[in-house]
Amino acid sequence: QAEEKPLHAQNLKLFAKKIIKLLNSKYEYLKVIFEIEQ
């Protein structure tokens, strides 16, 4: 179990990075739409 923890933490970091990337792209997308509408 001691060997699993670092791997799990690494997976969480990758997961967090994916979510941040997703949110950033969504935000950019909304920003572009907002600018077009104005």
pLDDT of 31? 92
pLDDT tier, 1 (very low <50, low <70, confident <90, very high otherwise): low
Number of domains in the chain: 1
What residues make up the domain containing 13?
1-38
| Helix-, strand-, coil-residue percentages of the chain, each rounded to 5 | 90, 0, 10
Is residue 23 scored above 90 in pLDDT? yes
Work out the percent of the chain whose per-residue pLDDT is above 90: 58
How do residues 26-37 score in pLDDT, each as one tens digit?
999 999 988 988
Report how far residue 33's alpha carbon sits from residue 14's, in angstroms, rounded to the nearest whole number.
29
Report how far residue 10's alpha carbon sits from residue 6's, in angstroms, rounded to the nearest whole number.
6
pLDDT of 17? 96
Report how far residue 3's alpha carbon sits from residue 5's, in angstroms, rounded to the nearest whole number.
6
